[in-house]
Amino acid sequence: MSAQDLAFYYLSFAMILSGLFTVFSRNPVHAVLSLLVLIVHQAFMLYLLGSEFLSAIQIIVYAGAVVVLFLFVVYLINLQKEARFRVFVRRFSLGLIFFILFGFLFVKYFVLIFSMSTGLRTLLPIDPTSSQALKMMARYLFTEYLFQFELIGVILLVVVFGTVFLLRKVKEERVG
């Protein structure tokens, strides 16, 4: 077993462990910090697999901006009631049903795409087995679906502003 294989297995195990800790953590700050550990390990995994650009983007964008934004929102919201275990248990079964459903659909479509004949694969906008799949996917995303991509960013920004606005209103009502 080579050093690259050992590094791959370590990163995989660490990502699974920190992902589970993110999902099952009662403390939202600990959950966000374990998400940060997951993102850093994922960046090293991408580097190990030969995608230096995505590794750098993973660190800069996700670890540097998104996780800080999550921490900011967690500190803004008073999560005393939501941190209780009873709220988690009540919604756990619904979350588990959605997790199993989306997992099944993901595996189904993943197998469907890779089991397609060569003639049917030409109908896809990109070839998922190509070594240039990421480059083609980025070009397709930023040319054909640029408006939708930008719209998602604006929607996320509006959500954060809405959260800050609502929290200010709630804090003003408590004080007054």
pLDDT digits (tens, 9 = 90+) for 57-81: 888 877 777 777 777 777 766 555 5
Is 120 contained in some domain? no
Residue 125 and residue 143 in contact, taking contact as beta carbons nearer than 8 Å: no
pTM check: above 0.75? no
Beta carbons within 10 angstroms of residue 53's beta carbon: 12
Mean pLDDT highest for which of 30-44, 47-61, 64-78, 130-144? 30-44
- Name which of 1-15, 22-36, 159-173 the model is least confident about: 159-173
Number of separate domains in the chain: 3
Is 2 contained in some domain? yes
Residue 19 CB contacts under 8 Å (≥ 6 apart), including other chains: 34, 38
Q: Mean per-residue pLDDT for 29-43?
A: 86
Residue 142 and residue 148 in contact, taking contact as beta carbons nearer than 8 Å: no
Q: Which of 34, 13, 12 is nearest to 23 (CA)?
A: 34
Same structural domain for residues 110 and 152? no
